[in-house]
Every structure is written in C-alpha cells, then in structure tokens.
Structure 1
Amino acid sequence: MHITLKATGTNAGMISHLLAKNPHNTYDRTEKGARVRMVYTVFTEEEAEIVIQASPDSIDLVKNSPDSYDITQYINDREFVTSSLFCTYIRGALGTALNGKPKEDYAAWVTHPFALELSFGPVASDLPDAVVEGLFAPLGYQVTIERGKADYAFQLKNRSTVRYVTLSGQQTVQYALRQLLLLIPVLDNYKHYYISEEELDKLKRYGEGWLSAHPLRELIIRRTLHFTNLIEQFEQLEAAEATTEKQAIQERNNSHEQVQQQEQSLEAEKQQPAVRLNELRYQAIMDVIRKLPRRQKIVDFGSGEGKLSARLARMKGIEEIWAVEPSAYAQVRAIERFAKLERHADAISPIPMTGSLFYYDEQLRGKDVMILCEVIEHVDEHRLNRVMYTIVTEYQPGVLIVTTPNREYNEVYRMDQQELRHSDHRFEWSRSEFRERCEQWIEEAPYSLALEGIGEEVEGFGQPTQMAVFTRRKELKEA
C-alpha cells in the first residue's frame, strides 16, 4: 500500500519543507504496528517525488482480536490495500503538511498550488470507474485508473474491484493530502475503527474549502459517516456555521417556544431511549412465538453470536433450542453467552451446533419453530429457492419465521438505489418482491403465509425490516 507524491516545475523542491522531511534521509518509523517509510526517489529544485509506503504486521493485525477464531483472517485484504488502515498509519508522518504549519520561513508555500501527480493503490472499491473519477475530477484532477497486470482465461480482470489511481493537476500539498486521506476510505467504504462523533471533526477539517461544493458531497458524507444520526449532525453543524450571528439571534428570538419544545422532546428521548432495530426484530419474533400453542422445540438457523437464542432460552414453554451457525468465531461468542444463562433458574441452555442451510440435518426435522432472522439475504439469490424447498418439504417446521431488509426503506437511510445495507448481502428485496417469493416457496407446500413489517414506518417506504410467518396447516401436521 502506497502513495506517490510528485511535484514538477519551478520551486518543486519546496514540498520537502511542507512535508518537513529531509530529502537526503529516509523516514522509517513504526506507527500503530506498521512500518512506515518515506523516501525521495527524485529530488531537484524542479522535480521532487516522494513515495510513502506502509507495511503492516500481518500477525499484529489479528493479535488479541476475536477474529482469530475465524478463517476470514487468512483471506481478508486489509494487509495489502490502501484503506482507512493505511491512512491511519501515515497520518502521523504527514502531520506538518496536513496542518499547514511548516517552519515560519516556508509558511507562504502552504497556499502555493504545485503541478502535482499523486498515485496510490491498490485500492479495493465497489464503486464504478465513472464514480471514482467523479470523486476527483471536480477537484481539478485528471484521473487515470488502471488494474494490475494479470493474465486470466476469463474476464476477471475487467470486473476486478482492485485498482490503481493516478491524479494529475494543480493543487496545494495540504489540500491534496487532506483530499486523499478523506477520499481513500470513501473508495474502500470500510473503516477498521468505530465511527464516532470524532469523525465529524475530521470531515469538517479535511473537507474545508472543497467539500461543500463537491457534486458528490452526499456520497462522500454518507460513506464517511455511515450512520444517519451522524450525517444529520454534520448537516446541522454546516447549517449552523452558514448562519450569521445576527440571523442566529433573530432565529432564537422567533422560535423560543419551538426550542423549548425541542428541549422537552430531547429530555423525553433521554428518559425513553430509542430501541435498536435489531432489538425490535427479536421482540417481534418472540411475540409471534409467545402466541403459538406449540413452541417446545426451536431451531435458530444462522444464530450468529446467540443473541436471539439466549432471549428465547428464558421464555416459558420452550424446552430445547438448537442454535445453528456455520461460523466458528460466532459460535465461540454464542457459547460464552449461553454459559451466562446458568445464573438464571428459569432459563434453558441452547444447544450450539455447527451447520448450514446447504446441508440437510435429520436432527432438525419436524421442530415446532424454525427461525431465519436476517439470514436469507446472505445467500446467493439463485440458491435460495433450493434452500427454502428443503425447509418446507424436508425439515417441515410447524412455523417458519423469516426476516429480511426492506430495500425500499434504504432511501430513508439516504442510500443509493443499488446500495446494500451490508457488504455481505447478496440481495435486498422490496415488499412486493418478498411477498412474491414467499408465495412461490409455498405454492406446493402445506403452509399459510402472514407478512408484517418491523421498525418505524415511513409512508411510501414501509418499515426497515419485513417478516414472513409460514404456518404449517393443522390437518397435515396431524396426518
């Protein structure tokens, strides 16, 4: 993972003072477990080129991490691609340039636009080439996108998400580096750390002077902050700064009553904190199960870390719960969670089980309830019909409960029309698509269907989660 910064023309060598790095010395430091090196490959008064490289320790990346239980640590690309990890590694080395505070003799060069060429990669991005270009071209850069040299017998190279990007244009060193450190994570769309309110300050500082007028501003903000509440906070912050002090005073005088109402509303929200959507799903599923005449034996397929199974373990009338999960890492977390149930006299102990929807297991046949909570969207769409056929014809649960995202609601989250809520989702369906598929699955199976939504309803978009409850007809169960 690297960035190459090249300046040409009169006084190009001044970038060494803006970076605060001696062109005759190699910068070699360890930052957050990675080796960061900066070296000038060319240095004259009319041409200067510096390569910034980071080499993370592959063992350090997973040391003391819960992911060490899972095979995905061996197949992820974080060690190689230019991403938020890379930006974190090099930020300390570029502090002087990013802050625009070189030695006083060179302060005037902070605002000097150089003829720059910046290249970086490899970067893994789900964005099309046209969108990648659209992120940088409005900033005055000519954009070149290349894919690595590789020979395949099929067209993998053309579809590869991994690319190398080169930018050419007139720009100050400070703006160029700030733009890269903000936009590289936007391309990669993954951050290795928790996205908190500190990200608002970073977005404001690095985006100062160019972000507000950018045509893809909303995309940049959304992929930087990810969460709707942070996006709204950032927009409110921008709106507040755009208002003059006089206008702000006038607004406060005119809307004193409204402010009081908002404060009362905020106080009420503090007293009654909002329930997370995941919790609402669990509550909806449990409400369905609680009303069933038969709920003794339950299968939680794709049980993950066992959160739903642990809740069901304390429900009256349930005698056994099979928590089926293919991920070893998730199972370890589930076992730890189930062990804590021993302190509750009214709880049963769920049975952790390694399994998959793609492999039939006779032990799970004929249970009272089978649950697929936020599971089907992780299955390739063309394989799903076979999975559901196996469930309704072989497993034959008394009741089958399926939840999945409602794609229409993504617009409420300010997502692009084709964007998925999670990188591992293979698809997301609208309400009509989900209904149509549910009806297809039971065309020749003895089940009735009931559909409902979960979460806050917005007119025209429905609710964020949709739930299907399939009930096996009584006469056939008795037969």
Structure 2
Amino acid sequence: MFLTISAFGVPERPATDLGYLLHKHPERVQRFSTAHGTAHVFYPQATSEQCTAALLLEVDPVALVRRGKGKGRGGAPDTSLAQYVNDRPYAGSSLLAVALSSVFSSALNGQCKARPELPAQSLFLRIEIPALPARGGGEALVRRLFGPLGWSRVEATAIAWDAEFPAWGDSHYVALVLEGELTLADALRQLYVLLPVLDDAKHYWVAPDEVDKLLRAGEGWLPGHPEHRLITSRYLARRRSLTQQAMDRLELARLAEADGVAAAEIDNAVDESVDSEESPLPLAVQRREAILAALRNAGAQRVLDLGCGQGQLVQEMLKDASFREVVGVDVSMRALSLAARRLRLDRLGEQQAQRVQLVQGSLAYRDRRLSGYDAAVLSEVIEHLDLPRLPALEYSVFGAARPRTVLVTTPNVEYNVRWEGLPAGQVRHGDHRFEWNRAEFGRWAQGVASTYGYTVRFSAVGPEDPDVGPPTQMAEFTRADSSPTSHPNQRKETAA
C-alpha cells in the first residue's frame, strides 16, 4: 500500500519545508510498527524545487486474521483462503488512513514546533495513490468527494481487472492523483476521512468515539460538503444511530458557520477594550466575577457552562476548589479546541483533570448528559439565537436538564447609548440576533420561570447608570422545588 505527497517550491519557500511539516527528515528512511504491519517513510526526491515523501505500508494479512479482523464485508465469515488473500495489503483503505494519522499526527493536527508558522501556509501539493477502492461509484465518486475541496486537479483512472483480458472490464479500483494549493493539514484530514469512505469499509469496529474523530477531521470542510451525508454514513460503517448523531452535529456546525462568525471568536459582548474606557475592569471580567459570586452564593459544586466558547469562565471556576466538577459545552469544535489549549488539558494533573470536561452539544436539543447538575450558566448566549429557536433552548435547559440554579446574562440594550464607539441603533456584536431592554428581559425571564417551575431575581453587572441601567443584566433562576437546606449559602432574598 503506497502513497506519495509532493510539495513544489517557490523562491521564498523551498519544497523541503515538507520535511518540517511531516516531522520526518528527508535524509533518513524511517520505520514505524503498526498493529497490522510496518509503515516506512522515505523521500524519493528532496530538492528546493520538489520534495516527495512516500508512505509505504506493509500489511501483514496474518496479523489481520489473528486480531479478529479477517471477517468479510458486513461481518459475514470468509472462507479460510479469503481471510488471508484479499486487497488489504495493496489498496488504500482505513488501514492507510490510520497509518497517516499515526505516522504524520503532528502534520495532520497542524503542528510544527520547529517552524510554527508553516502549518498555516498553503503549499502546491500533489498526492498520488496508485490503487484505491472506489466502491459504488468508481471515478465519478472520487470526483464527487474530492472535487468540492479546493483541488485544481482530481484525476481518478480506472484500473482494469486484468490487462491481459480487457473484456473483463474495469475494476472498482482507481489510480488517484490530486493537485492543488492547500495546507498540508487540510489535505491529510481529507484523506483520513475519505479513504475509508471510498473503500466503504473499516478494518476495525466503529465505536461511538468515531463521531468525534469524524467531526475533528472534517472541521471546516465537511459541514458544507454536498456529499456530507454519504461521507458520514460510509465513514461510520452505515451505523444509523451514529450517522444521525453526526448529522445533527454537522447541521449545528453548518449553522454556526453560516452566522459568519466562528463561535470561538465570540466573547458575546462589547469588545473588552471598549469596556476598559468606562470602568477599571473590562466588562467581561466583571461579568465572570458576578457569575462566580452567584454560583458560590447558591452553593453550586457541579456546574455547566453552556456556550463556553474559549473557556474563560471554565478557567476561572477551576481556580476555586469549591467547584468540584465543571463541564463546558459548545456547538463549535474549534471553540472547544481553543478552550482545551487555554486550559492546558493535556498538562493538567490527574486530580485537576477529573474536575473538568469539554463536550460538544447544542442547546437547541435535549441532552441527557446535562442532567443532574447543581447549576448552569448561560453567559451572553441567548442573544445569539434567532427568537423562534429560543423556546427550544428554554426547554432543553429549564425543562429537561433542570439544574437547581440557572444564571443568564445578556446585554442591556438601553445602555448602548453610553458606548461612544457604537453607532445608534447598532447591536454590540454582529452576531447578536436581538438585544433586550430591562423590561423585555424581565418579561422573558418571568415567563420561563412560570412555565418551568422556577423563581427568578435580577441583578446588575457593571456600572449602573441612573437613566439607562447597567451594561449587562443577569437573571438568577432557582428551581422552586429545590430544598433550602441543599444550598445553605444562598441568600434569603425575595424572588421576583
């Protein structure tokens, strides 16, 4: 099984930069053991004009059988000969995809310690796979899958079953050539997903975590791909429950991208540099402090940060040992990735790591994972939803998850006249679907509390203007059936 990646240089960027990106030196042949054989990486050519890296995967058919992977397609038992004689050692498949992710993991994840600026740079690439299954579509299927992904050349040449017997016709194998200007990470992620899709089979059991793998590798290109349903179904071995789960999450990601603003880039309020002109502390910092104080006052120990973005609030909660468990939830995989970097999840000690969890999910759908928590925070979230979709969020949080305490913050539109840099009539953030005044927010909160069995009280966040109120308004919902003794720190205040 063979694959080559070629990069072509320009005067300001030599082709041998490919070696830095792949973390494999052009002057050495390297060998890696895999569960099903041996992977070799070497460079047939390495000049400043053209650099070619080759991945040769030697698959051991006996190892496949011994690991219980010698079953036929669909799990049906093979004859004894078919267990050992098949196309797995020769044709690109999920075996090659797994080898790519293992041998070139840094490149696939867009990381390069020696040259950190390189992963973001597009290269003119040529990728060749001499034998690739294209079941159920042949050459046309290859073009349908790779054509929308930015390649200037997608060439799939059918391979005859036997050149000596042309009457047998073409096989479902093709020789693939891709050329185009892409980042190496994007190219590798596409291959990681589409190789098993074209083969329409995987050499291992497809577990639920494959959904996360698919969405990570497909971020930025899969949600908008015209064949995203076909890709999802075949990647997940046509398992209906996993396919539907992935499709739901892809639709949410597509909607987030259609907003024109990545969820990870939204601080959900006026820019903090503007806030600093009005107060000693940025408004975002004051908002987090107000939320933390309310959570402590409610005695919350297990907390959900719904719409956690880049994880600023999660980070602050982890500094306080009274919060035993903190779960950040966001629809954007990119946002969660940035939150993980901010929190340095890969460096946390075991005890600290057990306190925090980041999960992808939509607040427009009921999610059983969100049940049983002391408190939930919706900090600058509701204004990013279209008003017709707001009832779905209300039900998923207040009706289904039903935490004891729910904190909701949102901009007070009345205060907008105090922002010198904000034109009249303009909302604070381009992604805001609405901004409420104090009366509107009060009516909404009272309606939610009445519908779902909560009481609610209101507080101000930021400097309160005598005429227009505070820049941020906060509602603290308390479930009416919660026992007062279950959160002794909560102040005795009259609910609105």
**Under a length normalisation based on structure 1, what TM-score does the superposition of the two structures give?**
0.50
Structure-2 separation of matches of 1:115 and 1:143: 14
Partner of 1:220: 231
Partner of 2:3: 3
- Among 159, 171, 190, which residue is 1:179 paired with? 190
- Among 124, 132, 139, which residue is 1:115 paired with? 124
- For the pair 1:29 / 2:32, whether they are aligned, the reply is yes
Structure-2 separation of matches of 1:24 and 1:82: 26
Alpha-carbon deviation of 1:236? 2.3
- For the pair 1:18 / 2:21, whether they are aligned, the reply is yes
Partner of 1:169: 180
- Among 46, 50, 72, which residue is 2:49 paired with? 46
Alpha-carbon deviation of 1:201? 1.2
Partner of 1:394: none
Alpha-carbon deviation of 1:22? 0.7
Partner of 1:96: 106
Alpha-carbon deviation of 1:252? 8.0
Deviations 1:213-264 (A, max 9, x none): 2222221112112222212212322344445732459678624785499959
Q: Which runs of 5+ in 1 are unaligned?
A: 265-479
SS of 1:229 mapped into structure 2? helix
Structure-1 separation of matches of 2:111 and 2:222: 22
Determine if contact 2:159/2:172 at 8 Å carries over to the other structure: no
Alpha-carbon deviation of 1:51? 0.6
Structure-2 separation of matches of 1:153 and 1:33: 33
Alpha-carbon deviation of 1:38? 0.6
- Among 62, 71, 79, which residue is 1:70 paired with? 79
Deviations 1:386-425 (A, max 9, x none): xxxxxxxxxxxxxxxxxxxxxxxxxxxxxxxxxxxxxxxx
Structure-2 separation of matches of 1:220 and 1:34: 27
Partner of 1:125: 134
CA 1:253–1:32: 2 relative to 1, 3 Å: same
Count of aligned pairs between the two proteins: 262
Alpha-carbon deviation of 1:52? 0.5
CA 1:162–1:16: 2 relative to 1, 3 Å: same
Deviations 1:435-466 (A, max 9, x none): xxxxxxxxxxxxxxxxxxxxxxxxxxxxxxxx
Structure-2 separation of matches of 1:187 and 1:110: 27
Partner of 2:147: 137
Structure-2 separation of matches of 1:107 and 1:146: 37
Alpha-carbon deviation of 1:152? 2.9
Determine if contact 1:32/1:89 at 8 Å carries over to the other structure: no
Deviates more, 1:252-261 or 1:145-154: 252-261
The 5 Å alignment of 1:201-350 reads 201-225=212-236, 226-241=238-253, 242=255, 245-246=381-382, 247=384, 254-255=391-392, 259=396
Q: Report the residue type matching 1:233 in the other structure.
A: Q
- Among 192, 195, 213, which residue is 2:206 paired with? 195
Deviations 1:167-214 (A, max 9, x none): 111111111111111111110000111212211111111111111222
Alpha-carbon deviation of 1:128? 2.7
Q: Report the residue type matching 1:90 in the other structure.
A: L
CA 1:33–1:227: 2 relative to 1, 3 Å: closer
Alpha-carbon deviation of 1:135? 1.0
Deviations 1:43-70 (A, max 9, x none): 1122100110100112111115375983
Determine if contact 1:36/1:90 at 8 Å carries over to the other structure: no
Deviations 1:258-277 (A, max 9, x none): 5499959xxxxxxxxxxxxx
Q: Report the residue type matching 1:178 in the other structure.
A: R
SS of 1:195 mapped into structure 2? coil
- Among 85, 96, 102, which residue is 1:86 paired with? 96
SS of 1:82 mapped into structure 2? coil
Structure-2 separation of matches of 1:69 and 1:190: 15
Give the CA RMSD over aligned residues: 2.7
Partner of 1:152: 164
SS of 1:160 mapped into structure 2? strand
Deviations 1:116-141 (A, max 9, x none): 10001412222231121121121122
What is the percent sequence identity of the aligned residues? Answer: 28
Structure-2 separation of matches of 1:256 and 1:87: 38
Q: Report the residue type matching 2:391 in the other structure.
A: N
**Under a length normalisation based on structure 2, what TM-score does the superposition of the two structures give?**
0.49
CA 1:39–1:233: 2 relative to 1, 3 Å: same
SS of 2:116 mapped into structure 1? helix
Determine if contact 2:138/2:173 at 8 Å carries over to the other structure: no
Q: Report the residue type matching 1:169 in the other structure.
A: G
Structure-2 separation of matches of 1:223 and 1:121: 22
Partner of 1:356: none
Determine if contact 1:8/1:115 at 8 Å carries over to the other structure: yes
Q: Which runs of 5+ in 2 are unaligned?
A: 72-76, 257-262, 264-380, 402-496
SS of 2:24 mapped into structure 1? coil
